[in-house]
Structure formats: C-alpha cells, structure tokens
Structure 1
Amino acid sequence: MKVNLLFLFLTFFAISPAFAQEAEEDNDSLVIKTAKNTYRLNFQSADLNQVDGFQQYRIWGAHHMPFARSGNLGLAAHRLSVEAQDWSVNHNLGAYQTYVLNEDSMKFYQVSQPVTQLIYVNGAEEEQRFVAFHTQNLGEGLNISFQYDRMTSTGFFLRQLTNHTRFYVNYNLHSRNKRFHSKGYYAISNLKSQENGGVFLSDEESEEDNTVLLDINLFDAQNRSRSQVLGLNNQYDLIRIDSNNTLFNIYHKFNYVRSYRNYNHDLTNSNQDFYRKSFFDPTLAADSAFVDELSNEVGVQLFNHRLLGGLRQSSFNYFQNYLIDQNLNSSFFLAQYNDTLLGQHIYGYFEKGLSGFHRDEFELQAKVNFQQVKTFKFSAEASITQKQPDYFLEQYRSNQNYFNQSLKTANAQVLRFRMQEEFSGIDLSVSVKNLSNFVYFDSLSQVQQSESAISLVEIQLKKHFVFFRNMNLLNKIVFQQFSDKEITPLPELYSYHSLYYGNELFNKKLNLQFGFDLYYLGEYEGYAFSPSLAQMHLRGKGTEVLGNITQLDFFLSMGINQNARAFVKFENLLYDNFDAQTYRIQDYPIPGRALKFGLSWTMLN
C-alpha cells in the first residue's frame, strides 16, 4: 500500500509541468538552489548529480571519514570525535540518532523546472537503500519538496535485521512583494532493528565458520523507534526601504517533536547473563518511552536581518512505562548578530535559559571569517556552552536500567581556527576544547559525570592532489589528543584517502571515476553497546583494544549526460566474512568483502 501511494505521489508531480515556475527562470536550463534551515533562507547553487563521493551511500557517507558502526546498514553507530554536549528529545533514541531526520537536516529548494530523482543501492545480505526525491515550484514564490528514504538489511550475522523508513515534505514561499516569507516541514523517521547483543566465538567455533553459525547474546530482542517533527516559520517585513532592504521584521517559529522508543526481549533462548540486573522480570522485557516537545518562538529582526532578538517557550512531556509521567516547561531569550564589519564577516549567537527545567542553560558563539589575503582564507570561532542534561539521564525506569539522580549542567569552551589555501587546496583546522561535568555511561551502563575537566585538541587536515592530469588523491586526516582517555576512549588518529582516476569522455557526456577508498582507524579502547538503553557505554578494564583497522574499497563510478549515475563497489577487500580485528564497537564485527552497486536517475519534467 505504501509503495502504491508513493508511486501515485511521484506520478502526480511527474505529469504536472503545467504548474508555473519562477518567471525569471523560464527557460530549458536547469537551475537548482538549496538552503539550510536558518532563520532567513540563503540559497546557493547545488548539483544533484555530482559523481564525487557517490559510492559513499551510507547516511554519513558525505563526511568521507570512518565511522564507528556495529555492522550492516541501519545498525547503531557513534562518531569518533567529541563535541560540546547538548541534548534534544531524540536523545531517547540513543545510538540510532544518526538516522533521524530533524530540524537541522532540512534543506529547502528553488528550481527552474520540476526535478525528480531516484536512487537505488543494493548489496550482499539484502542490504538495500532506496531514495525518491522530488522538488518543484508551484507558482511564483512557492516551492514544495519531498523525499522518501528506505533502508533495509537482513544482516551478515544472526539477528541483525534492520528496516528504516524516513520521509519528509517541506515548503518555502514568499509573497509577490516579498514582504511575507514562510517555510514549513514535516519529517518522520521509523527505525526498526533487531538486537543480537554482539557476536562471540565459543570453544567449538573458529573465525572461518559461516557468520550465521556464530553465537550471539540475544536471539529475540529488538528496538523500534520513531521520531516526528513539525516546524513552521513565518516572517513579515514591517518596515523596509525596498524588496532587498528591510529595517524591521517580525517572526514566529513553531516546532513540535515527538520521540518514541520501544525495546523488548525474551531471554528464554539467549545468554541469561547478558544483562547484570533485572528490576521487573528476569526473562521478558517490554519497555516504552516517549518525549514530546512543543515550542513557540517570537522575535524581531532589524537592519536587513543583521540583528535578531527573540523569546522561546518550550513544553516537554516525558513518559515511560507508566512509571514516569513528567511535564516540564522552559523559557529562553536569544539574540543573533550577522554582518560584515571592515571587510570581516562576523556572526554571533547568544541564548540564555530564563526559567523552568533549562533555566541554567547558557550559550554564546562567535565566528569571524576574515577578508581573503591573496590565496589564503582564515576563520576563527569560539563558543561557551552550559547545557542541562536530558531528563531521562536523571530519571529512568526500565526493566534493565534505573536512574534517580540530579545532574549538573555540562559545560564546554571551544576555540577553533581554520586556514584554507586556494592554490594548494590545503584545508587545515585546529580545535581546542575544554569540557567539564561531562556526561557518560560507565561500564555498568550507569550515568556518570566527570569530576574533573577534560581537555582535548583536534587537528583536521584536508588536501586534494591532482597529478598526471587525471589522477586524484584526496586525503582527510584527523589527529586528536585527550586528557582523559578512560572517559573519552576514542582513536588519536583516523583518516580517509581516495586514489582514483577521473576523466570526462565523449564530449563530457560521461564522467568516469575508478580507484580505491582507504579508511584508517587507529587503536582505541572504544565503547560497548547496550540494546536496552540504545546507548554506547564504557567497556571497563581488562578488555582488548579496538581499532588499528584499515578498510580498503574498490569503486567504479559514472555520471552519464547529467541525468544518470551508477557505481559498483567491492567493500572491505582486506577482510574475510568474519574477522575479530574489525571490531569498532565491542562484540560487533564489521562484515568482510561484499559487492555493492548503486543507480541514480534524475528526471526533468
């Protein structure tokens, strides 16, 4: 039924070229512009048919960096760097948050003609991803876009089936005189994943055995999650000089988010000792928790949107297993500055909790993009944040986990400097971070806060070499140092390298790339994963280190006539189906050699 509705939806838009596009773009050439979800949309040219990186089909593939994943497409994962801590209501979804569509992931479009794009990726063990995207202008000043994203996999090891569906629809419009601007979106993420609790070798097994024969901890467990977000933002220019210069603007922003997660298991045929505690039933668990957030924000923007001031009121409802039903309220003041001064672009943001659960929160950001000096671009940014941990980190009632505590605000000070050199293509950034009251899960899956501050330095270097005219070597390297490796057990070094041949053939009708992607992940202590919490936690002492992994992929990518793209990829060439050296998360090996292919087709109506 869902497939039929999707087909009907696509057909409707495919046969509707009669809808007028922007008058100033009334020609046969395709113009696509996209904007991030900021207060005032700033549209930039975009390319939906870019061949570079098309073989990076995973959600985080655009980062071109290794990721700590627990196996096939759709399973739990975590980043390899540490940022200033902040919590949304989707914290309830734990290590599956990376798959969730939210306010920050929305993109808005302007197009000269309707565009429909279909993407399909297939691999071993029914690892599949299908994306259907459509955008078009409906009359002057109105654009509507939607995307359907489905990813599934049966898993390379027992009980790792994933089935995720994500969908969003959004619009952006302005009135004919451009005084009124509006944008809105609705997004839903349905995530279903079996949980096997990790793979282990018994005395009778060896690494050469079929992966589906290896022992697992949980034979009947799963996480089911859902996140929904609805957002509206309306703005009206009250006083302006002309259509491009506004002196006084008022706005209203509405946002509603619901986050739901259900975890259940039956330990009858599983490892009875996998969980250390059971508060209600030692064999069966059926835990549910959801969080609602409803927020309204009103404010003004002055001097052509250079200065913004506003107030936000947020209401929360936390519910779990009929044991927690808590309503919370918070109010905030916020201000933003965005302008150019003496040739330097300056951005500043301030937010302070005024009352309620988040009354102690504080955030101050500043960023300067300095004027270009010959071929050099420099930028610097600093931030001070003070964030209230999520309520479920203080109060939690489930079959395996019980929290009853009060947490301090998590504080962070971050300095970041970036240098870009156009001639050489060097992109260097250095970050210094100081984190206090850092919140983490210990080896018993209990919430803790660090007693002392954690300092870390992170250096990122990017460089793209071109030699012999068509040979390319893309490098991205991250080096980081931590003052406390027990609480932040992440690698000091990880990197991505891509060596490939690239050329445009047949009068630039065919864009061809083929070569190798190499990911390196240095040695680190790493995390274990708790299915009941859906969170990463420390592993404890005496465990073998993770990492020291080199993943090598071969790929062939093609772009044909600006409409079609395709890739073939042999992933993880260096490892067999099972290899204990591939763990990035404790007891979760990465699948070995596998063939993947992907297709993309863009249709212009």
Structure 2
Amino acid sequence: MKGKLLILLFFCVSTTLVFSQARVILPDSSQITTHPDSVNLLPRQAPSGLSRGPEEPFDTVNLELPAATVWHLHPRSGDRIVVPMDTLKHNFQQTTVPDGYSVAGGYLGPIGSPFISKLFFERDETSQFPFYDAYKPYNKSPRQQVFYNTRVPYARLDYQTAGSRPLREQRLRALLTTNFGKRLNVGLEGDLISAKGLYKSQETKHNDWSFFGNYLSDRFETHLLVSTSTAKQFENGGVTDERFIRDPESVGQNFSTVDIPVKFTDTWNKMKTNHLFFSGKYNIGYNDQKKDSLGNGEFIPVASVIFTSHYTGQDRRFLSYDTVQVTVEGKEMQRIDQFYPNRFYNTAVDDSTTFSSLKNTFALSLREGFKPWVKFGLTGYIEHELRNFSMMDSINGTIDRRKHRENSLFIGGILNKQQGENLRFNLQANLGVVGVDLGEFNLEGEVETGFTIAGKRTVLSGHAYIKNLTPNYLQKHYHSKYFWWNKDFNNMRRVFVGGKLYIPFTNTTLSVGVENLQNYIYFDKDRNSAQYSSNVQVLTVGVEQNLRLGVFNWDNRVVYQTSGNQEVIPVPTVSIYSNMYLKALIVNELTFQFGVDAHYHTAYFSPGYEPALLQFYNQREKEIGNYPIATVYANMHLKQTRFFVMLYNAASAVWKPRDYFSLPGYPVNPMMLKLGLSVDLHN
C-alpha cells in the first residue's frame, strides 16, 4: 500500500506541474434534468438551502479551487447535472467510515464490506446483477461518475488508515483531471481499499480504476467512461459466541479479536465489474444576433439529438476451501456444509455467475428556454438492452452451465422545467413495449417551489411515483451449491408520495414519505427468494435540525419509520444521528472542529447477511440496536489540506454491556484510532 501511495502521489504531482500553464474557458452548463431512477429528481443547488444529511448543506459553495464545473451525466438525455465538489471543511471524518453512508446502516465491520441502509427509502431497487448491490457505497458506474471541466489541472489524494499491523485498515483514493484546451477534459481516478479485518477471516480488498473524459462545444457534447472494479471479500459467516463482545470478562481468558470463534474460514466472494460508457449529443440551434466582447454571436441550442451506449460486464464467484470433514448428527460433511440445510453438489464450494448488458439509447430533446415563451424542456427516447446470464446447471446428474439471453425495449419521455426560482418540476415516464419487460412502466415526478421571507429562502418539494416492475432473471432463477430456485413471480407494484420542507429561520428540514408495495420480492428467513403477494405500507418521517451558538454546533437527524409487515420489510422505529462539536477559524487559515457524534437506532430484527448469496435476508432470531456507535474526533482544514483524528466506537469504553453489533453475528470494529488526510493539488 505504501508503494502504491508513493507512485500515485508522484504521478499526480508530476502531471500537475507539466500542465501547470493550462487555461481554459468553461462552457456554460446545459439545462439540467434528472437521474431517471433517483428518488431526488431535481438538482440540489446551493440557493435551495436543502440539507443533504449530517454534513453542513453545500459547504462547497465558496470553493477555494480555481473556477471549475463538476457534474453527473443523465444516462438518457445526456444533460449535465451540476454537483458540488468534494471539499468539505468539516465532518470530513464521517465520509471515511461505513456509518457515514446513512443515519442507520448495517455492514460486516471493515471498510469495503457489504453494506445495507436501514432506512428503507434509501435502498435502490434490485439491479439485474444483485450481487453488486451490497457494495453500493463503493460502486463505480456511469450514473455515479463525476465529470470535470477545470481551468487548471486538478488532483486530489485521500488517504486513511486505522489500527496497527498486521490488522491495519487502509484506503487510498487518487484523482487527476486536466483540460487540453477549452473543450477537452480527461481524467484518471483510482480507489484502493485494503482492510485486513480485526476479526478472523474478514479481509476486504477493492481495486477500482476509471478513465473518463468529455469534449464540450456548442454543437457537440461527448462523454466517455472506462472503468474496472474488483472486490474480494473473505467471509467468516459471523461470530459464533457473542460473549466475546458483550461480556468479555465472562470468557475468563485473555484474547484478541482474531481469537473470537467464527463459523467458517478459507471462504471468500470475488466480484469483478467492467463498464464502457459513451454519450454523444449534437445540438441544433442558431447564433444570437447579440455580439459578445469578441464580436461573436452566442450559440442558442434549440434541440438535441442524443445517443448513449453502455456496456456492463460482471462476474461473481463464491469459493471455499473450508473442507475439513466433520460429523454432524451422524453424517459426514465438509465443515462449511454444516451451516446449510441443502447441498446440490458434493464437491468444494465453487459457485459462479456472470452477467453482461449492452444498452443503447436514442433520444430527441427540445431545450428549455431557447425563447422566453419556452418554459420547459421535452425529451423522448427509445432504449434497447441485451442481457446475458450464465450460471451452473444440473443436466443428467452432472454440473453444466446454464446460459440465458433476453431483450428489453423501452420507450419514454421527460418533461421538465429547471429554470426559475419559484417553480421547477420534472415528470418522466417509460413503458416496456417489447421483450421480457413488456408491460413494465414507471411514472415519476417531482416538483419544487420556493418563496422568500425576510430575505431567507424557504423551499417546499414533493415527489411521487407509480411503478409496475418486472422481476429480474436472478430473482426468479438461481443455482448454486446451497441455494437453488426457479420461481414464477408476479410484477411488483409500488406507489409512493412524499415531500420535504426546508425552513431557513430555524435551519430545519422536515420530510415525510409513504409507500404502498404489492408483490414485494425479498429474501425470507430461510434465505430464499420470496414474494409477498399482499400489500405492505411503509411510512417515514424525518426531522433534521442544526443548532448553532457561536463556536458551538449541534446537528441532529431523526428518522421515524413504520412498516405494515415487519417480517417482509423490517425497519427500526427510530434512527438518530447526532453530532455535537466546536468549530472555529484559527489565525485566519486553519479551520478546527472538535466533537463527538453517534449513530443510534432502536432494536429490531435487523437483516441478516448470507455470504453464499452476497445478500441480506429477513432473519427473525436476533434483534439489533439500542446501542450507539460513537466517535470522538478532531477535524482540521488548512488551505488545500484536510486532516482528521478519530477514536472510533468510543462508547464501548464506558457503555455496558458492549453490544456493538451492526448485523446479527457481525460486530463493528472495537475502539480504535483512525487517521485521515486529503490534499488538493492545483495551480
């Protein structure tokens, strides 16, 4: 890891110096629209005042960087959705721990391990290759890729470490992007995770690399992303004796965390994902008669022709060498087999599943605002996807490969208004017209309005959708050593209505949402894919309140949830993130923050984790919760450098019994010191 850090540091610094004289003129961003499957369709810009979680809302408004534009790309319309840069001056430490991804989340312990949000409305719908869903915070995909346009070369290095050898946990992220002229930008990004795990057989490794670029002119806009990601997760099945965590004194012997007994060893999941994404847009318009300072007329886009192509290749493999023969109830079996009631072949575990997708989208767009009377934009598209699946199969008693190919064709449209402060909206609809997704539809919309009272902006937004979703292939069919099913599921129907209100006078954000789900697909207590044919309602009410008095700050986020059927959709009743800290500017250069924060939720039957499926399932054996995962930390920001020191899981030193389980059988790391550094390099 040290060698990789030095190589990347040298590469970033050298390239920054080579291109230190580069200067570009930033093109204006196109009118922005939405992410097609997001629950937050409208772009969140600084003037709206909406909060985004535990961090201070949009702390990146006053950038210290030279002029730069940063955006996500709409995968269907090709529009640029402007986002703030990652230059938080405080709460940086929360972005480096798995707990920071949600008010309440479950994970296996080390950074980089599978993660699930315990807030239901934060979970995405199941993807075509659901094994990678468990790595959502670490996924690299076109919809999450950040594109840049900079006046000078820009590089950023992030490094964090925790623990000591041989159980050290490290993460290194590096970004380098630069413009070549005023139109072309290219960049390279890497994300390396190496966490040995403080418990036996729990090592995690991630190696993610992406090359990206964009070319922007009046007529042509193109974006390219090439990325490859690998993840290796050693699996131990969870600890078998909770006394080592809850009441270590009762064990009656000296031990370290790696001495705590676990279910199995020499077992791991391997994931590999490759993306090749291209988006091209041709703008049709005219030159305005008004001349700029150079005597040129400004180009006004009227309509656009968009083509997007996205290839995805994914592979997942589950292996185990934990094959020592044991006798259980008079039967001889491999050691790992004793934890599973079914075995569909007798050799050592070696399950593999592959998936590939080629998605092509053609769209036509009428641009908003090219004339004063054109108050909205309109986009229509047609999208085709070819999918291939491969998994093991049994033919005449022998193991073979089962291959499946399917096609899907959607038509859809987007109607949006993104200009103006008083009313913005986004409506979108799509319908499956050919192939396996015939009859699937999605009608979704969001509206936002705002009004100013005594010079402060109050923002009110609403969001709703109606969906009829086709179950994907791996939800209906899956073959492996321990799990084997072929099922005929009905389409899932989802109806959601929600809203959010930001009150600037009290720095308060109120949110509420309710959803009705029919034919919901989940993993039951036996860890099999199941469908609940009746209706389930989920209600969420959230309050975010940030208090400030001089250098004293107290940020709080409280989420109340209720589920109509806790066996189908289990949720904690109350989840809380609270952060109390002192923040001050020292000698006009150094921003210093010192505080304590905690994540807490009430006890409930939290999802369990099944390594053989790389999925979370609805267990009914153990409740998790009523225990704070707290940190004591200090953050510092000096010019282009951010640094933090954190004492993680500090509550375990005083809070007894120690019950710091994130999921059944999976405790979080014990109290440990964590350090982090982030450096921005630019000229």
The within-5 A match list for 1:49-198 is 49-58=87-96, 63=101, 65-83=103-121, 86-124=125-163, 125-175=167-217, 178-198=218-238
What is aligned with 1:278?
343
Change (3 A) 1:19 1:271: same
Distance, in Å, in 2 between the alignment partners of 1:100 and 1:572 is 26
2:495 to 413, 416, 435: 413
Partner SS state of residue 93, structure 2: coil
Q: Deviations over 1:12-66 (max 9, x none)?
A: 52232266321469xx961232112223444647344322221024375664523
Determine whether 1:252 maps to 2:307.
yes
Change (3 A) 1:131 1:43: same
Distance, in Å, in 2 between the alignment partners of 1:41 and 1:586 is 43
Total equivalences in the alignment = 595
Change (3 A) 1:263 1:271: closer
What is aligned with 2:270?
224
What is aligned with 1:449?
531
**Conservation of the 8 A alpha-carbon contact between 1:365 and 1:382:** yes
Alpha-carbon distance, 1:70 to partner: 1.6
What is aligned with 2:373?
none
**Conservation of the 8 A alpha-carbon contact between 1:89 and 1:293:** no
1:363 to 434, 442, 459: 442
**Conservation of the 8 A alpha-carbon contact between 2:127 and 2:133:** no
Distance, in Å, in 2 between the alignment partners of 1:340 and 1:147 is 31
The within-5 A match list for 1:318-337 is 318-321=389-392, 322-337=400-415
Distance, in Å, in 1 between the alignment partners of 2:157 and 2:590 is 19
Partner SS state of residue 667, structure 2: coil
**Conservation of the 8 A alpha-carbon contact between 2:70 and 2:147:** yes
1:207 to 248, 258, 276: 248
Given residue 433 of structure 1, which amino acid in structure 2 is its aligned partner? E
Comparing 12-21 and 513-522, the one that deviates more: 12-21
Distance, in Å, in 1 between the alignment partners of 2:240 and 2:606 is 17
Distance, in Å, in 2 between the alignment partners of 1:389 and 1:93 is 17
Partner SS state of residue 132, structure 2: helix
Normalised by the size of structure 1, how large is the TM-score? Answer: 0.93
Distance, in Å, in 1 between the alignment partners of 2:598 and 2:428 is 38
Distance, in Å, in 2 between the alignment partners of 1:396 and 1:223 is 16
1:503 to 571, 584, 587: 584
Change (3 A) 1:407 1:518: same
Alpha-carbon distance, 1:421 to partner: 1.0
Aligned structure 1 segments of 4 or more residues deviating by more than 6 angstroms = 1-5, 202-206, 577-580
Comparing 28-37 and 130-139, the one that deviates more: 28-37
Change (3 A) 1:436 1:191: same
Q: Deviations over 1:215-267 (max 9, x none)?
A: 11111110000111111110111244645532221110101111211101133
2:615 to 501, 517, 535: 535
**Conservation of the 8 A alpha-carbon contact between 1:100 and 1:227:** no
Given residue 16 of structure 1, which amino acid in structure 2 is its aligned partner? V
Alpha-carbon distance, 1:88 to partner: 2.4
Change (3 A) 1:495 1:410: same
Q: Deviations over 1:274-324 (max 9, x none)?
A: 11111001x611111111010111110013381000101100000113432
Alpha-carbon distance, 1:510 to partner: 0.3
Distance, in Å, in 1 between the alignment partners of 2:520 and 2:223 is 36
The within-5 A match list for 1:340-355 is 343-355=422-434
Comparing 129-138 and 241-250, the one that deviates more: 241-250
What is aligned with 2:598?
518
**Conservation of the 8 A alpha-carbon contact between 1:202 and 1:215:** no
Partner SS state of residue 574, structure 1: helix
Partner SS state of residue 134, structure 2: helix
**Conservation of the 8 A alpha-carbon contact between 2:318 and 2:349:** yes
Distance, in Å, in 1 between the alignment partners of 2:418 and 2:232 is 47
Partner SS state of residue 518, structure 1: strand
Alpha-carbon distance, 1:571 to partner: 0.6
Alpha-carbon distance, 1:580 to partner: 6.2
Distance, in Å, in 2 between the alignment partners of 1:24 and 1:356 is 43
Distance, in Å, in 1 between the alignment partners of 2:83 and 2:530 is 45
1:570 to 647, 652, 661: 647
Comparing 217-226 and 197-206, the one that deviates more: 197-206
Determine whether 1:472 maps to 2:553.
yes
Given residue 15 of structure 1, which amino acid in structure 2 is its aligned partner? L
**Conservation of the 8 A alpha-carbon contact between 2:652 and 2:658:** no
Q: Deviations over 1:152-199 (max 9, x none)?
A: 111111000111112222112212xx1111112122221001000110
**Conservation of the 8 A alpha-carbon contact between 1:85 and 1:410:** no
Distance, in Å, in 1 between the alignment partners of 2:202 and 2:244 is 23
Q: Deviations over 1:190-214 (max 9, x none)?
A: 1001000110129999634422112
What is aligned with 1:15?
17
Distance, in Å, in 2 between the alignment partners of 1:61 and 1:580 is 18
Distance, in Å, in 2 between the alignment partners of 1:389 and 1:217 is 33
**Conservation of the 8 A alpha-carbon contact between 1:413 and 1:433:** yes
Partner SS state of residue 577, structure 2: strand
Alpha-carbon distance, 1:99 to partner: 2.2
Alpha-carbon distance, 1:119 to partner: 0.9
What is aligned with 2:632?
554
Given residue 681 of structure 2, which amino acid in structure 1 is its aligned partner? M
Percent identical across equivalent pairs? 22
Partner SS state of residue 323, structure 1: strand
Distance, in Å, in 2 between the alignment partners of 1:145 and 1:380 is 36
Alpha-carbon distance, 1:454 to partner: 0.7
Alpha-carbon distance, 1:594 to partner: 0.8
Could you list the runs of 5+ residues in structure 1 that have no partner in the other structure? none
**Conservation of the 8 A alpha-carbon contact between 1:56 and 1:64:** no
What is aligned with 2:60?
none
Partner SS state of residue 387, structure 2: strand
Partner SS state of residue 186, structure 2: strand
Change (3 A) 1:78 1:64: closer
What is aligned with 2:680?
602
Partner SS state of residue 423, structure 1: coil
**Conservation of the 8 A alpha-carbon contact between 1:51 and 1:511:** yes
Determine whether 1:390 maps to 2:477.
no
Change (3 A) 1:94 1:23: closer
Distance, in Å, in 1 between the alignment partners of 2:676 and 2:86 is 15
Change (3 A) 1:43 1:289: closer
What is aligned with 2:622?
544
Normalised by the size of structure 2, how large is the TM-score? Answer: 0.82
**Conservation of the 8 A alpha-carbon contact between 2:112 and 2:204:** yes
Q: Deviations over 1:451-499 (max 9, x none)?
A: 21110110111111101x1111111111111100111122111111110
Change (3 A) 1:445 1:299: same
Change (3 A) 1:400 1:30: same
Distance, in Å, in 1 between the alignment partners of 2:518 and 2:158 is 44
